[in-house]
Amino acid sequence: MVRFNMKHIGLLSILFFILLFLRRGMQFLSPQIWNEDGPFNMTSFILSGWSNLIEPTQGYLILIPKLITDISMSISFIYYPEISTYLTWIITILIALLVVYAPTKLKYKVLSACAIFLIPTNAEVYGLPLYMLWFASIILFIVALWEEGKQPLLRVFLLILGGLSTPVIVVLIPVQLFRLVTMKQKKWEIAVLALSIVISIVQLYFISHHGAGKGLHVDLKFFETVIDKFFAYYYLNFFEVNRILLLLGALYLIGLIFVYFLQNRHDYYFLILIYLLTASIALSAVRMDPGILTPIFGGGARYFFLPYILLSWTLIYMMAKNKWYETAILPVLVLALMTALQGFCRTHDDLQWRKHIDLCQRSEGKYAIPIENDGKSQYAWHLVLDAKTCKKYIENDMFELPEMRGK
């Protein structure tokens, strides 16, 4: 167990910063605004102020990303990309520290925290304010794996924070029902279950009004694709392997998990891990057709983020059991890391935020400020603001630049 002291916290923070930097260092050195963070979160703050915290984005309440946006906009419009990025990185590191120090039943906790940064996907999810909704789900996984009776008020706080930041709160209800039946200390389990239900109802209300989710055609091919993408690709995507080897690779992992289950049927925390893994895969498959998703090349890496973290945690949990599991699983983790190196870091063009907001305040009417989509300037999205709005936020900025005055 890692000792809770400032020296260890500092060293681990440096380690997690390095891992995050290796994945998305250019965003730290040249912060940019990405995707929906501009036309959704920034725009909603401009229109509604802090009340936008209770407004859904794409059908979800996302408290943590909205807090990052609102705090950053309140501090500085001119330096919004830098402030929002640095806040995102701080919160990401805090979540990794939570994996290490929270009283959960995870095994090899430092390795489990590092696994968040080392999963075999491209770097899409890392270091961006909007995508903190995915990291908020990690908070909920920690709540689900919490040791019975330990620090209940902290657990409740994390449940509320995570639950209002991601719709993944819905999958915690069966976990809490299971914990209520199997755990001895009922009072706090009842409280967490009740809160999970209330927050889930709120999230489902917004989801139902937005129409999130896609129709599915479930057949044998669908299940083959799911086990390929969410199990075999985890450690075999590095290699040019045929369909049979992919199937065998997926069955190898599923078989290991099943054997462990047969030998440890009363390991309730392992059962929770398996449920979370299955539920995360189901959520991804419901949200987007897995046949068009790829974890590294192409689109949709974010839909593998949670399943691959949970698969990593499951394998690490099993590996701690005995030498046999360690021998069977360690090569898988090594191959997964090799696979991750294919799309480990991500670069982007500098879209010159300050230049464009200056042009915005000098424009005649509305101005389209370019923001990142896939990192290339020719495929940029745009945040459309009028001159009055840009001028107002620049003039009220505590970091107003001399060259922007008097426009």
Burial (CB count within 10 angstroms: exposed 0-12, middle 13-18, buried 19+), residue 359 = middle
For residue 297, what pLDDT is reported? 81
Q: Are residues 317 and 363 in the same domain?
A: no
* Contact yes or no for 199/160 (Cβ under 8 A): yes
Higher pLDDT, 64 or 343: 64
Backbone angles phi and psi of 107, in degrees to 5: -100, 155
Question: What would the mean pLDDT of 335-354 be, rounded to a whole number?
Answer: 93
The b/e string for 210-236 (b: 16+ C-beta within 10 A; e otherwise) is eeeeeeeeeeeeeeebbbbbbbbbbbb
Least confident of 3-7, 64-68, 154-158: 3-7
For residue 243, what pLDDT is reported? 83
Question: What would the mean pLDDT of 165-171 be, rounded to a whole number?
Answer: 95
Question: What would the mean pLDDT of 177-181 be, rounded to a whole number?
Answer: 95
20 Cβ contact partners less than 8 Å away, ≥ 6 residues apart = 28, 89, 92, 93, 117, 126, 127
Question: What would the mean pLDDT of 164-171 be, rounded to a whole number?
Answer: 95
Q: Cα–Cα distance between 52 and 46 in angstroms, integer?
A: 9
pLDDT at residue 215 above 70? no
Least confident of 5-9, 117-121, 143-147, 253-257: 5-9
Higher pLDDT, 89 or 212: 89
Q: Are residues 228 and 271 in the same domain?
A: yes
Question: What percentage of the chain has pLDDT greater than the value 90?
Answer: 77
For residue 396, what pLDDT is reported? 87
Q: How many domains does the chain have?
A: 2
On average, the pLDDT of the chain sits at 92
Q: Are residues 321 and 360 in the same domain?
A: no
For residue 4, what pLDDT is reported? 67
* Residue 148 within a domain: no
* Residue 154 within a domain: no
Question: What would the mean pLDDT of 170-188 be, rounded to a whole number?
Answer: 93
Domain final residue, candidates 286, 311, 327? 327
Domain that holds residue 269: 220-327
Q: Are residues 312 and 376 in the same domain?
A: no
Q: Are residues 257 and 317 in the same domain?
A: yes
Question: What would the mean pLDDT of 16-27 be, rounded to a whole number?
Answer: 96
Q: Give the chain's radius of gyration (CA, Å).
A: 22
**Listed residue (317, 321, 391, 335) closest to 359, CA to CA:** 391
Confidence of residue 293 (pLDDT cuts 50, 70, 90): confident
Q: Are residues 229 and 310 in the same domain?
A: yes
* Residue 371 within a domain: yes
Q: Are residues 287 and 381 in the same domain?
A: no
* Residue 285 within a domain: yes
Confidence of residue 3 (pLDDT cuts 50, 70, 90): low
pLDDT at residue 94 above 80? yes
Q: Are residues 229 and 316 in the same domain?
A: yes
For residue 291, what pLDDT is reported? 83
Confidence of residue 299 (pLDDT cuts 50, 70, 90): confident
26 Cβ contact partners less than 8 Å away, ≥ 6 residues apart = 345, 346, 347, 348
Q: Are residues 360 and 302 in the same domain?
A: no
* Residue 90 within a domain: no
* Residue 74 within a domain: no
Q: Are residues 229 and 319 in the same domain?
A: yes
* Residue 115 within a domain: no
Confidence of residue 14 (pLDDT cuts 50, 70, 90): very high
Q: Are residues 285 and 370 in the same domain?
A: no
Question: What percentage of the chain has pLDDT greater than the value 70?
Answer: 95
* Residue 200 within a domain: no
pLDDT at residue 386 above 90? yes
For residue 153, what pLDDT is reported? 95
Give per-residue pLDDT as tens, 149-166.
Answer: 899 999 999 999 999 999
